[in-house]
A and B are shown apart, each in its own frame.
Chain A
Amino acid sequence: MSGILRALLRHRSGLLGLVLVSVLVAAAAVSWVWTPYDPTTTDLKARWVLPFRDGHVLGTDMLGRDQLSLLLVGARETLAVALLATAIAAAVGLLMAGAAALAPRWISASVVQLVDVVIAFPALLTAMVLAAVFGGSLWTAASAVGIASGVHVARVTRLEIERVRGTDYVLAATASGSGTWRTMRRHVLPNIAPTLIVQLSLVMAVATLTEASLSYLGYGSPSPAVSWGRMLHDQQPYIEARPLLVVWPGIAVALTVLGFNLLGDALRDATDPRLRGSGVGSAAPGGVPESAAEGLPKHGSAAAVPVAAVAAPASAPLLTVTDLTIRVGARILVDGVSLSLAAGERLGLIGESGSGKSLTSLAVPGLLPEGLTASGSIRIDGVELLGRPERQLAGIRGERVAMVFQEPLTALDPLWRIGRQIAEPLRLHRGLTRRQADEEALRLARRVGLPDPEHIVRAWPHQLSGGQRQRVGIAIALACRPALLIADEPTTALDATVQREILALLDELTREQGTALIFVTHDLAVVASVADRIAVMRRGRIVEHGPLGEVLASPREAYTRSLLAAARATSFTPSPASPSAVPPIPPSAPSAEPFEPSLATEATT
């Protein structure tokens, strides 16, 4: 609890929200024991007193009532309506959502239908009808807003419950023997809490607004009651002569709504341990994998990549990357990487997660995610790409450099037919007519081995299997015969038998078209079957770089050696002489240098 409060106080807008809501609560509380004047006493001799005159801080209205006192007392009504409406909304929302998620099918189906119908009723209108029938009061406003918002809350909450119930940790809890109610209490509720908090803070804001609107329209609590909406209502006829008097309740309503919203958002963040920092109070996380790059020095030393120069091929290079450094803020993710690639050459870029291999490959066609900045130099055919405007990069992409991505489904537009996706780069870069492009697309579909190409060009991406989608991805990438193909883990999401076919296809097509290849992967065995040369990356740097056979047979770096040992230890060996021929896994880390630094130094972090 104290952790949540501390996180709330660190949150700037959360602090503002907390202050605003505290002021509201304090105003309501103070008004019970003290107000500058009696808010309901009229004093016709002191009408329209301006602010800061005769002890009226905010002045008086047409009946001589003190505005500050009215505002203070009005806070009670606002707070009461907001709290009551939120309580009703929470009760209605949780009950309906629970019923929709847990009850037998026919109950849950009818609840969902009911929610859809009720959601169509405007809350304000409902409140006005209720007020007309039962007389305006705090209760009519609160229950109208509460029920109407409750249905909205139910809808969102049900979806959240379903989402959380589909997670692996709920599955794991069930496998641990956790019952339905226990899972709801221990896993589902805490994980839907953030959404619920935001929803309920919105209800508070809506309730505040609705109360003000109702009172303004004359459907609010009857006469002796004081509320901000009623103040607006009373002063409306004089708005031209005394505009200031409308401003005070207006500001009060606006600040209250703002306060509820800010507090709700901040509470959502503060209750999330992932955003709150460490549970034991220290702000430094123990072993977040992405933190691997944090320990890097600010300036990449050239000594870190001594092998880069060695590997430069004799002929004029197609691609030259020099001292590429990628930063996000002050953090260096890729640290002074230098590479060069001759036409038709095939480079395997190897590394574990967080090594910077994907960022390096994305930087070449200028596809780095927003917020990341690259420095150094990337040249294709001797032309500098870094710092070029997006328009020119778009021309180079697809025509000179193409990419194949890991997840072929997300890389294809779900709303475009396959044939059109293949034809698009042809029309864009080679200026073919629609018909020519379609014919070429069909030819490419046949070339990449798609079954029944005449039909498949008319199909949608979701109708294809993973392997077929990756074939489409390759067809798109190679459509314009690029000089360089960058494949980022293109077979990681595929089954072994399909992986083999895709690797063979990539191999065959790039050879046939003389395309240079950068193959990015974590899998040494895969890279061994497509690359001529490999570069091993670790923590944003290239640690080893050389011809494939050389690196695999006699790696220079300890890291490469242990990576190879680990890969060999876990990779399948087709026909072992005997089971004991499987190399025994060394008891701890495969080398003196641990890969998971936080694991070895656990006690100290």
Chain B
Amino acid sequence: MNETASLPTAETATETAPEPLLSARGLRRTYRLPRRRLLRPAPVRQALRGVDLEVREGGSLGIVGESGAGKSTLIRLLLGLDRADAGQVLYRGREVAGGGRPRDLAWFRREVQFVPQDPLGSLDPRMRVRDIVAEPLECLADASTAADGKAGRDRRIDEVLHAVGLDAADVRRRYPHEFSGGQRQRIAIARALAPRPRLLIADEPVSALDVSVRVQVLDLLRDLTARLGLALVLVSHDLGVVQLLCEEVLVLKDGRVEEQGPAEAVLRAPRSGYTRELLASVPSLAADPVSAPRYGPTR
């Protein structure tokens, strides 16, 4: 794996201050809905009603919830793509002011990158793989990386494409539609890795993929985060995925944190009734199918 030699290794991650890498305090976000009556105030929907969370350097947090729980809103706030009505997002103790000018957050984006859900929709159909992966490098170039110039950038593109298991020489000049779903998600991961981030925020990274490809992409994510010492925030409705990749779990319901703690504890002995219901709802594929639970009548 000499092609990844220049990627930062896990060793660098250990010598850090005890403060959390990413934290959120009292996040609230309310959306205004379309007006029903002309003279009445517009109705509102409270997407988040005070969410706190913490991710340590090299740690991994899984955010679980059903549709409407506020997962997407939380992701937007954690990524600084939107401004919270109340509360703060802090990265290494510094406030991440979302919704402002993109340049003001360049420092944050160099460290925190995003792996979106739909690997086809998140890649510009009119850009070649090379340009897609180069995008964060171009946008986030600072004094230290600007000196590398185009050659350095190309080298970095090849590096990250290798790191996600793609043949750089072959894929560089291709367009997204020429790849399968799993390969596209690899490209999206390569794009996120390009600026040497310390934290990946992944929004349902495998839910659009076939089960056999899912294993490969999860395997890749687990391998990369371990090898590079990356912290991971993973949003998913799939408890199996969270169980596989995350040390900590946060259960979100109706914009509030329902339960939070080490994955093993939350998934094995949930304290909240909602979490228990959620766990019980997952159809399981026991190794012994005869003992697999079948659903009885609902009522």
Contacts and interface: CB of A to CB of B under 8 A. Distances in A.
A289 B163 CA distance: 23
A182 B281 CA distance: 45
21 contacts: A172-B116, A173-B124, A176-B109, A178-B135, A191-B125, A274-B175, A285-B177, A287-B180, A495-B66, A499-B281, A500-B283, A504-B296, A524-B285, A525-B284, A526-B283, A528-B292, A567-B285, A571-B282, A585-B215, A596-B213, A605-B170
Contacts of A353: 181, 210
Given A169-B125, A278-B174, 7 more contacts: A169-B121, A177-B106, A272-B125, A280-B174, A508-B297, A526-B283, A529-B294
Nearest to B133: A176
Interface in A545-573: 548-549, 552-553, 562-564, 566-573
B126 to A, nearest CB: 5
A168 B116 contact: yes
Interface of B: 66-67, 79, 81, 101-103, 105-106, 109-110, 113-114, 116-118, 121-128, 135-136, 139-140, 165-167, 170-171, 173-175, 177-183, 188, 191, 195, 206, 210-216, 218-219, 222, 237-241, 243-244, 263-264, 267-268, 277-285, 287-290, 292-299
B124 A549 contact: no
Given A191-B124, A603-B170, A175 B113 contact: yes
B255 to A, nearest CB: 16
A171 interface: yes
Given A495-B67, A524-B285, A548-B289, A598 B180 contact: yes
B264 to A, nearest CB: 6
Which 8 residue pairs across A and B have the least CB separation, nearest first? A176-B136, A177-B139, A495-B66, A175-B114, A595-B212, A572-B239, A552-B289, A168-B121
A571 B286 CA distance: 9
Interface of A: 167-169, 171-180, 182, 186-187, 190-191, 271-274, 278-280, 285-289, 352-353, 449, 466, 495-501, 503-505, 507-508, 522-526, 528-529, 548-549, 552-553, 562-564, 566-576, 579, 582, 585, 587-590, 595-596, 598-599, 602-603, 605
B218 A279 contact: no
B212 A590 contact: yes
Contacts of B103: 179
A288 B282 contact: no
Nearest to B112: A175
B288 A553 contact: yes
Contacts of A175: 79, 81, 109, 113-114, 116
B127 to A, nearest CB: 8
B177 A288 contact: yes
Contact of A496 (B66, B181, B210, B211): B66
Given A176-B135, A602-B171, A168 B117 contact: yes
Contact of B283 (A529, A582, A585): A529
A525 B298 contact: no
Nearest to A500: B281
Contacts of B126: 190-191, 271-273
Contact of A570 (B183, B214, B268): B214
A278 B175 CA distance: 7
A352 B268 contact: no
Nearest to B121: A168
Contact of A500 (B114, B122, B295): B295
Given A167-B121, A279-B128, A573 B284 contact: yes
Given A191-B124, A273-B126, A567-B211, A496 B281 contact: yes
Contact of A507 (B116, B268, B295): B295
A172 B67 contact: no
Contact of A569 (B179, B215, B277): B215
A602 B129 CA distance: 14
Nearest to A551: B289
Given A504-B295, A566-B212, A596-B213, A497 B278 contact: yes
A340 B110 CA distance: 58
Contacts of A526: 283
Contacts of A503: 283, 295
A572 B213 CA distance: 17
Contact of A273 (B125, B188, B214): B125
A471 to B, nearest CB: 11
A579 B267 CA distance: 11
B139 A176 contact: yes
Given A286-B178, A352-B210, A571 B295 contact: no
B220 to A, nearest CB: 10
B289 A553 contact: yes
Contact of B109 (A177, A274, A508, A574): A177
